[in-house]
Amino acid sequence: GAVVSQHPSRVICKSGTSVKIECRSLDFQATTMFWYRQFPKQSLMLMATSNEGSKATYEQGVEKDKFLINHASLTLSTLTVTSAHPEDSSFYICSGRDRRLNEQFFGPGTRLTVL
């Protein structure tokens, strides 16, 4: 299947700083990318949907000014957690939709720890 990478795989930051997570589709063009958040022993919760070249659509309860999403190209989407706080500590997962295969491919996730 197609490959999606995320960088970094894990990051530790101080409270109040901003953290950027990159999501890349390596061998396909992802016109749509999704960002999820996964708490320990819980399911993935969709945060937002981003389409290349347009603004992201956020799910209810997700602060768009807190979680900035940019999808500037068909192979790259970024999630920036602004002014991070300990409650933002979580596992963030992205996926890209391969329109040709009509399937989503997931990245390996980024573990964010805010001290």
Q: Which residues bind other proteins (CB under 8 A)?
A: 1, 4, 32, 34, 41-46, 49, 93, 95, 97, 103-109
Min dist. Cβ of residue 89 to other proteins (A): 19
**Rounded Cα–Cα distance for residues 112 and 13 (Å):** 8
**Rounded Cα–Cα distance for residues 110 and 92 (Å):** 5
Which of 63, 103 has the CB closer to other proteins?
A: 103
Which of 41, 86 has the CB closer to other proteins?
A: 41
Which of 43, 86 has the CB closer to other proteins?
A: 43
Burial class of 2 by CB neighbour count within 10 A (0 to 12, 13 to 18, 19+): middle
Min dist. Cβ of residue 27 to other proteins (A): 14
Q: Could you give the 3-state DSSP secondary structure of residue 87?
A: helix
